[in-house]
Structure 1
Amino acid sequence: MQQPTFNRGQLFWASCLALLVTSLSFGIRAGILSELGTKFHLNASQLGTIAATAFWGFPLAVIIGGMVVDAIGMKKLLLLACLFHAAGILLTVFASGYWPLFLSTLLIGIANGTVEAACNPLVAAIYPDNKTTKLNHFHLWFPGGIVIGTLIVFLYNKAGIGSIGRWEPWQIQVAVMLIPTLIYGYMVSRLKFPVTERVAAGVSTGEMYKSLLNPLFIFMIICMFGTAITELFTGQWIDVLLKNVTDNAILILTLETGVMVIGRGLAEPVVHRLSPQGVLLISAVLSALGIYLLGHTTGNMVFVGALIFGMGVCYFWPTMLGFVSENLPKTGAVGLNLMGGAGMFAVSIYMMFMGSHYDKLLGEKLPADAELKVYTDAPAGSEMANALAEAKKAAGPQILDTTLVIPIILVVAFAALVFYMRGRKKAEQLTPVSA
C-alpha cells in the first residue's frame, strides 16, 4: 500500500499540542483539586472519584479508539478528541458541584484517551526506525504540560490576581486550556495523515489480535498496571498528600515533572545505550527510592525525593509503549492502545481505593466518633482545622508507603525481563508493502 505524501514534522507537532492539552488537564486539576474540594464541600473520597473519572474515560476511549483507528483513520480520531476536550473544559469552567465536575472530567478523560489512541500509532508510523526515542520525545509533552499547568496555578495564586468579574481564579486557569485545544484542532483539520504501520505492512486484523495472546505482551500489560500507578497516582495526588508536610507541595510536582521533560528530551542516547528493558529496570529502582524519600523526609530532602522520583518515572510510559512497538510490532495500534488503556484503568481503580483509604486514615487519627466532614468544613485556624492538618500530615506518607510496594515489585519484574530479552531473538520489523 503506497503511503500518501505527508508532513512528518507538522504531524508530530500537532500530536504534541494535543498531548499538551491532555497534560494541562492533569496539571491544572492537580493544582486546583484542594480548592475544588473547599468550594464544593467535597471530601477526599469524592475528590478521588472525580480525579479517577479522567482515568475511566481514558481507557474506554483508548481501547475503543485502538480498535477503530485502522478503519476510520487517525485524523478523524484527533478531531473527535478536540471536540471532547472543548466540551470537557467548558463544562468544568461552568461546574456548579460534584456531578458537573464528574461529567466534565469524564469528557476530558475520553478526549485524552482518544488523543493517545491516534497519536501513539501515528508516531510509530512516521518514525518506524526510531520508535522508542520518538515516543519519548512525544510523551515529554505530558510532563511538560503538567509543569506549565502547575506553574499557571502557582503563579496566578502567588500574584494574587484573584477573580476577574464573575470568573474565579480556578475557572480562568481551566479556560486557558481552550487555546492549545483550538490550535491543534485547526492543524489536524488541514494535514494529511498516513495509515498505521500495521495496515501499511499488510498484517491482517486477525493476525494482530492473535499477537495479543503472546505471553510477553500479557506480561507487559500487567507491568503497565504498576508503572502507570507509580507515575500518575503519585503525581496527581502529591498536592493532597503533602500539602500539610510542605508549603510548596505543588512545586514538588513541578520539579518532578520538569525532570521528566528533560529526561524524555534526552531519551535517544539513554535508550540506545541501555535498551528499553534496561531503562525500565533502572526506572523502577529510582521510582521506589523517590517515593520512599517523599514519604520519609522533611524540608529540602522532600525535593531531593521529588527529583529522584521524577528521574524514575521519566521513561516509564513511553518506553513501555516503545518496547511493545519494537518487540511485538504485529500487535499494531490495538496493542499500543491496550497498554495505555490498561495503565489508566489501573490508576482509576487505585485512586478510588486510595481516596477511601485516605479518608479512613484521617478518621483514625482524629478523636473518636469525629465526623470528617465537620472537621473539613471547620474554619481555618480553629482547633478542628489544626487537628485535621495534623491528621493529613501523618496520613499522606502512609499512602506513599502503601504505593511504594508497587515499584519494588516492578524491580523484580523488569530484572527478569532483562535476563529474558538477552536470550530472545530480535523481533522482525514490519515493512510497508508496495501498492
Structure 2
Amino acid sequence: MSIPAENRTVQTYAGVKPVDASRLFVASCLALLVTSLTFALRAKIEGVFHESFGLTREEIGWAFGPAFWGFAVATFLGGAIIDQVKTRNVLRIAFVCHLIGLVVLLFAKDKTLLFAANVFIGFANGSVEAACNPLVTTLYPHDKTKMLNRFHVWFPGGIVIGGVLSWLLISQLNLPWQALTAVLFLPLALYGWLFFGETIPETERVTSGVSYRDMFRHVGAPCTIIALVGFMIFATSLPIAIDFNAVSTWIVLGLVVAAIVVESLVVNKTSLLFPFMVFCMFLTASTELGTNQFTGALLEKTGIDPIIVLVAVTGVMALGRYFAGPLVHGLSAVGVLLASALISAVGLYLYSIANSPGSTLFAAIVFAVGVCYFWPTMLGFVSERTPQTGALGLSIMGGAGMVATSFVLPIMGHSIDTAGPQQTLRFMTVLPVILIAAFVLLAWYLRGRRAGNAH
C-alpha cells in the first residue's frame, strides 16, 4: 500500500482542510481487501455447499449471482448519486452491508440464505468500487492507471490471503468454514475506522467543472446500457438460463446494439468509445472472475489442490499489478489489454488440456499473467480517455463487469454439470479470442484519431 512521497497529502479543492491521501488510500485498499476475501471465501465454500448441503453447481451459481449483480446495482447507483450523497456516505453503506452480509453468511445452510447473504455482500462490494475508484483517481490525477493498478493489487492480494487462511484454518486446523468467514470482520472494522472521521475530497468530475448532465451524455448510451444491465440482473436472479441458440435472443441483442448506436451518435452526439469499452468489460470480467469462481470444480480431476492454483493465480496478479506502471507507460493501455487477451486465451486453452499437477500449475500462471491487468487497465483507460464520464463511467464499467460474471456463472455451472470441466474451459476460451479482435480494432481506431488530430 505504499504511496509516492509527493502524493502523501493533498489539499481539498475547496482549500479548506488538508486531506490525508495516504490514510484514504490505505483505507480504500482495506475495503477492497474485504471485497476480495469474499471472493476467496466463495471459492472455498462452493465445494462445501455442493458436498455437505446437496446443492447442484447450477444452484450454487444462482446463489452466488447476487454477489455480482448486487455489486452492479450498487456500483451503478453509487456512480450516479455519489456527488449528491457524498463519497463518505457511500462508504458507510458499504460498511453496513458488509457487516449484515457476513453475519447472514455465518448461518447459511441452503441456497436461499446463501443467496440473501450474497445480496448484501454484493451491494457492499459494489459500494466500495463505486466510492474508491473515483476517490483514487481524485487523489492521484496524474497517475490514474498506475495507482488504480496499485489499488487493485488488493483484489488478487486478498484472494491470496484468503487462500492461505483457508488452507491454514480449514485444511490444517480442521476448523469449520465459518471460522474463515469470521476473519473478515477484522479488516472490515479497520477500514471503517480509517474512513470515518476523515476528510474525503469531492470527485474529479465535480472539481473539474463537468456538469451532471454532461457526465451522463458522455457515457454515450446511458439509458440503453443501464436498461441492458438491468435486464441481465433480472435474468440472472431467476434460476433459468438464456437460450443463445434461439433466434429471438439474437434479434434482441441486435436491437440493443442499434439502440446504443442511435443513443450515442444521434441523441447524445458522442462517440461509441465508452459503450465499446463496456462491451469489452463484459468479456474481460467474465474471463477472469468466472473462471476463478469455479476453480475447484474446473480443476478437481487434475490432481492438484484448487486452493494452490487460486493462490498461484492471484499471487501472480498481485505482483503484476503492483509493478504495472512501467508496463503501461511502455506499451500503452491498449497494448497491455491486447497482450492480456492473447495470453489469457492461451492460458485457458492450456487449462483445458492440463491433466497433471505440473501442467495445471503452468496453465494457471499463464492465465494469471493474461488476466492480471484487465480490470484496473480497463478502468484507467476509461478515466483517461473519457474523463467527462466521471464517477458514473467508472461505476458503469465495474458494474458491467460484475453483472456479466453473474450472468455467465450459471451457464458455466450448467456446462460443468453436463459437458464437464474441460469442455467448459474450451467454451470460455472464446471470450478472450473475441477480445483480441476488439482490442486490435480499438488500437486501429485510436491511431486513426491521433492521425486526424495531427492534421
Aligned to 2:362: 304
The answer for the alignment partner of 1:206 in structure 2 is: 213
Q: Which amino acid in the other structure matches residue 424 of structure 2?
A: I
- SS of corresponding position for 1:203: coil
The C-alpha deviation readout for 1:127-184, integer Å capped at 9, x for no partner, is 000100000000010000011111111222331x234xxxxx1011111101100110
State yes or no: 1:416 paired with 2:435.
Answer: no
C-alpha separation in 2, matches of 1:314 and 1:162: 32
- In 2, the alpha carbon distance for the partners of 1:295 and 1:404 equals 9
Which AA in structure 1 matches 2:436? V
Superposed CA deviations along residues 230-283 of structure 1, whole A, max 9, x for unmatched, are 000011111111112223122111101100000000011001111111100000
Moved over 6 A (4+): none
Q: What is aligned with 1:403?
A: 428
Task: Work out the CA distance in 2 between the residues paired with 1:190 and 1:425.
Answer: 45
In 2, are the aligned partners of 1:32 and 1:153 still within 8 Å (CA)?
no
- Alignment check: 8 A CA contact 1:28 1:152 kept: no
Q: How does 1:199-278 map to 2 (within 5 A)?
A: 199-213=206-220, 214-278=271-335
Deviation, structure 1 residue 21: 0.2
Q: Show the counterpart of 1:2.
A: 14
CA distance in 2, matches of 1:225, 1:208: 22
| CA offsets 1:364-420 (integer angstroms, 9 cap, x no match) | xxxxxxxxxxxxxxxxxxxxxxxxxxxxxxx11111100000001101111121222
CA distance in 1, matches of 2:350, 2:403: 27
* Structure 1 residues without counterparts, runs of 5 or longer: 164-168, 362-394, 429-435
Give the corresponding residue for 2:7: none
Equivalent residue, structure 1, for 2:394: 336
- 1:259-310 Cα shifts (integer Å, max 9, x gaps): 0000000011001111111100000001000011111122201111100110
Matches of residues 327-406 of structure 1 in structure 2 within 5 Å? 327-361=385-419, 395-406=420-431
Distance 1:240 1:8 in 2: 41
How far residue 189 of structure 1 moved from its aligned partner, in angstroms, is 0.6
Question: For the Cα contact (< 8 Å) 1:84–1:111, is it kept in 2?
Answer: yes
CA contact (8 A) 1:276 1:319 kept: yes
Structure 2 Cα separation of the partners of residues 296 and 181 of structure 1: 40
In 1, Cα distance between the equivalents of 2:306 and 2:83?
43
In the alignment, which of 344, 360, 366 is matched to residue 287 of structure 1? Answer: 344
One-letter identity of the residue aligned with 1:122: L
For residues 218 and 32 of structure 2, the distance between their equivalents in structure 1, rounded to whole angstroms, comes to 28
**Contact 1:286 1:312 (8 Å CA) reproduced:** yes
Paired residues of 2:49 and 2:109 also in contact (CA < 8 A): no
**Counterpart in 2 of 1:321?**
379
Q: Identify the match of residue 182 of structure 2 among 175, 181, 194.
A: 175
Look up the match of 2:9: none
Identity of aligned residues (%): 45
- 2:18 is paired with a residue of what secondary structure? coil
Secondary structure at 2:294's aligned position in 1? Answer: helix
Residues in 1 aligned to 2:200 and 2:340: alpha-carbon distance in whole angstroms? 34
- Structure 2 residue aligned with 1:117: 130
Contact persistence 2:314–2:368 (CA under 8 A): yes
Number of the residue aligned with 2:101: 88
Secondary structure of the residue aligned to 1:260 is helix
Distance 2:374 2:282 in 1: 11
Distance 2:109 2:47 in 1: 16
TM-score, normalised with respect to structure 1: 0.87
SS class of match (2:142): coil
For the Cα contact (< 8 Å) 1:18–1:181, is it kept in 2?
yes
- Partner Cα distance (1:425, 1:17) in 2: 39
Segments of structure 2 that go 5 or more residues without pairing to the other structure are 1-12, 221-270
Alpha-carbon RMSD across the aligned residues, in angstroms, is: 1.4
Partner Cα separation in structure 2 for residue 398 and residue 156 of structure 1? 33
Q: 1:353, 1:172 → 2: CA distance? A: 30
- CA distance in structure 1 between the aligned counterparts of 2:83 and 2:130, rounded to whole angstroms: 11
Residue type of the partner of 1:411?
I
Separation in 1, partners of 2:359, 2:418: 28
Give the C-alpha shift of residue 91 in structure 1: 0.7
Q: CA deviation at 1:425?
A: 4.1
Count of matched residue pairs:
388
* Map of 1:194 onto structure 2: 201
Q: Is the 8 A contact 1:58 1:344 kept in 2?
A: yes
Separation in 2, partners of 1:242, 1:82: 34
Q: Tell me the SS of whatever aligns to 1:6.
A: strand
Query: CA contact under 8 A between 2:297 and 2:416: conserved in structure 1?
Result: no
